[in-house]
Structure 1
Amino acid sequence: MSHLKLSFEIWPNMPWGRLEICGPASNSWGDKSLEWCVERIAEYGYEGFDVVYPKIMELRPNEYDDEVKKVRAAMTKHNIAFSSIGCHTTFVTPRYFDRENGIAKFKKAIDAAADMGAETVVTLIGDGYYDPPLYNLMTRKEAWNQVVTATREVADYAKQYNIDVSIELIQGTIINDIRSTLKLFEDVDRSNVYCCVDVGTFYTTVKPKMPIKQAIQKLGDRIRVVHVKDEVGFPNIMQSQHVWFGGGFVDFEEMADALKSVGYKHYNSVEWEAWQAGGLYGVGEPSGIGLNDFDRVAVEAKEYLEENGWGKLK
């Protein structure tokens, strides 16, 4: 049985550029170059890395080509893979111009993936449907049609570069359970469209409806990337409060066994978001104080996961 390959996600400072659920957060790697981060991740023994797209967007036009060369050189030097780009963008909205801009942004992330050698580009279905409550402004049928047509458009664009598109199953969006994910695959009907499994979401949002192993087996080989985090649920629709590994609802051994049972072969990204300022409705830890020392995160997250069945075989 193959092992669950670990990768590590690179974040910029202030990743969402606004002062809502996350605040103007900063992490210890936020001002470092992509090349520096890749080198560091390789030093800590990860097999891959992932990048949140605003980190790439920070590159000025006159810096971009040089940084692409440096990142590719670091990948070759350390035999480390570029697992995914995370580009959360707008596919569902009554505002046509926001949707057009969202699709265009995702295509630019695909271009970056092609330039840098990333394997897939990930998005959740922004701007939601249940949170924010777009059902007050558009019917479910209208929203679903927007999801399907946008996903087809970006998948066809990505196909020319042999890049996959991964749709993240996540609370608050119209793709928030296994049934809706499988229906998306059927309606979009594109071979390069996959699911991104967020481990925290599966324990706060999927597990109440379906056992974890059953959910993973239903998705089977349509899982393309896994975001690894711990999470707790609050009585609000997002239920999105990330906590340090071992402090939440996730059973990491159970999830590891479930992924191994379907022969999952792609990367499992340590997605540490809780460094961002929290609050009751925030992304970060309930205390509002998140660990932002990414060197500690890279070391200790890997240690914890290896103890629970992830990473290279001992």
Structure 2
Amino acid sequence: MDHLKLSFEIWPNMPWGRLEIAGPAWNSWGDKPLEWCVEQIASYGYEGFDVIYPKIQEWRSHEYKDGVEKVKKTAEKTGLAFSSIGCHTTFVTPRHFDREAGIEKFKRAIDAASDMGCESVVTLIGDGYYDPPLYTLITRKEAWKQVVDATVEVADYGKKKGVDVCIELIQGTIINTVESAMKLLEEVDRSNVYICVDVGTFYTTVKPRMPIPKAISLLGDRIKVVHVKDEVGFPNIMQSQHVWFGGGFVDFVEMSDALKSVNFKGYNSVEWEAWQAGGLYGVGEPSAISLADFDRVAEEAKEFLEEHGWGK
């Protein structure tokens, strides 16, 4: 293959509400219209864009149709692909009403993807299992059944809409190993269900269990979306302390080589999360809130990645 295609992820301000590990965070693109963000991404030479679903949810019902048309026209004008929507939602919980609302939210994200020509909707398995420790309330067998049943339900819904479902392998959830991801794919048995590789997670969570090239080889053509970031991974179970590219544990050359070895054709999304709350238990820099200037992020992240085997 010629190269690993780079896309860039668009975030609203305060993407997860009051969530303590993220906080009421602000970034320089957070209050900009979605189509404006797409044009900015194109100006930096990316090939695609990704959107965190709350950015779309910000549209009022009477604004939705117009918003969809603006994004579609901008994508067509710039030539950028709408790679994925990130819709982290609740699939595992002892609270049936939270689970039902989570599944419904994911379906609405699928609707938005279908309306705007987006290929995939991505989720981690919320509300966790190991973090938060839902094993105090439900058995692993119960949690696993909830994951399988929810994934089947949204996959069947997505199939009718021509949208793929990507489950993100991530620490703290019940899908936290390559083995669990492959088991899920086998039991769900849907052609439009894939795995999302989070590069930071793979170096803080997967690598202690197996070499990265082996992990990527095992998942192979079931990888649909890649989130590109760097992490140091301490001290909590989620290991989500994001740091600026080159400052963490990720070997970007090794990962780019591994993805090329399985002929990965999807998009590799720059997922800069460290603008959110940091500190020991936040998701951002352990030192504090870090770089929130997304123009710098878009430009410098691409420069760094191209030096390490990604992009054109």
TM class, shorter-chain normalised? over 0.9
Question: CA shift at 1:236, angstroms?
Answer: 2.1
What amino acid is the match of 2:101? N
Map of 1:90 onto structure 2: 90
Map of 1:79 onto structure 2: 79
Once residues 208 and 281 of structure 1 are traced to their aligned partners in structure 2, the CA distance between those partners, rounded to angstroms, is: 21
Once residues 263 and 289 of structure 2 are traced to their aligned partners in structure 1, the CA distance between those partners, rounded to angstroms, is: 37
Map of 1:5 onto structure 2: 5
Instruction: Within 5 Å, give how 1:290-301 maps onto structure 2.
Output: 290-301=290-301
**Residues 200 and 250 of structure 1 are in contact (CA less than 8 Å); yes or no, is this contact kept in structure 2?**
yes
What amino acid is the match of 2:106? F
Once residues 19 and 204 of structure 2 are traced to their aligned partners in structure 1, the CA distance between those partners, rounded to angstroms, is: 25
Map of 1:253 onto structure 2: 253
Instruction: Within 5 Å, give how 1:103-122 maps onto structure 2.
Output: 103-122=103-122
Question: CA shift at 1:274, angstroms?
Answer: 0.2
Instruction: Within 5 Å, give how 1:150-299 maps onto structure 2.
Output: 150-299=150-299
**Residues 51 and 85 of structure 1 are in contact (CA less than 8 Å); yes or no, is this contact kept in structure 2?**
yes
Question: CA shift at 1:67, angstroms?
Answer: 1.1
Question: CA shift at 1:289, angstroms?
Answer: 2.5
What number of residue pairs does the alignment pair up?
312
Once residues 175 and 19 of structure 1 are traced to their aligned partners in structure 2, the CA distance between those partners, rounded to angstroms, is: 21
Q: SS of the counterpart of 1:160?
A: helix
Q: What TM-score, normalized to structure 1?
A: 0.99
**Residues 235 and 280 of structure 2 are in contact (CA less than 8 Å); yes or no, is this contact kept in structure 1?**
no
| CA-atom RMSD in angstroms | 0.6
Map of 1:18 onto structure 2: 18
Q: What TM-score, normalized to structure 2?
A: 0.99
Question: CA shift at 1:19, angstroms?
Answer: 4.2
Q: Structure 1, residues 144-181: CA drift from partner, whole Å, max 9, x if none?
A: 00000000000000001111000000000000000000
Q: Structure 1, residues 260-279: CA drift from partner, whole Å, max 9, x if none?
A: 00000000000000000111
Once residues 281 and 23 of structure 1 are traced to their aligned partners in structure 2, the CA distance between those partners, rounded to angstroms, is: 11
- Structure 1 gaps of 5+ residues are none
What amino acid is the match of 1:23? G
Once residues 223 and 172 of structure 1 are traced to their aligned partners in structure 2, the CA distance between those partners, rounded to angstroms, is: 20
Once residues 83 and 203 of structure 1 are traced to their aligned partners in structure 2, the CA distance between those partners, rounded to angstroms, is: 23
Map of 1:58 onto structure 2: 58
Q: Structure 1, residues 77-120: CA drift from partner, whole Å, max 9, x if none?
A: 11110000000000000000000000000000000000111100
Once residues 76 and 20 of structure 1 are traced to their aligned partners in structure 2, the CA distance between those partners, rounded to angstroms, is: 38
Matched, 1:147 2:143: no
- Sequence identity of aligned pairs in percent? 79
**Residues 2 and 265 of structure 1 are in contact (CA less than 8 Å); yes or no, is this contact kept in structure 2?**
no
Once residues 143 and 19 of structure 2 are traced to their aligned partners in structure 1, the CA distance between those partners, rounded to angstroms, is: 27
Tell me whether 12-21 or 297-306 shows the greater mean CA deviation.
12-21
Q: Structure 1, residues 11-59: CA drift from partner, whole Å, max 9, x if none?
A: 0000001141111000000000000000110111000000000000000
Once residues 234 and 67 of structure 1 are traced to their aligned partners in structure 2, the CA distance between those partners, rounded to angstroms, is: 39
Q: Structure 1, residues 181-233: CA drift from partner, whole Å, max 9, x if none?
A: 00000110101000000000000000000000000000000000000000002
**Residues 235 and 281 of structure 2 are in contact (CA less than 8 Å); yes or no, is this contact kept in structure 1?**
no
- Structure 2 gaps of 5+ residues are none
Change (3 A) 1:254 1:238: same
Name segments (4+ residues, structure 1) moved above 2 Å.
Answer: none
Question: CA shift at 1:235, angstroms?
Answer: 3.3
**Residues 2 and 263 of structure 1 are in contact (CA less than 8 Å); yes or no, is this contact kept in structure 2?**
no
Q: SS of the counterpart of 1:3?
A: coil
Map of 1:306 onto structure 2: 306
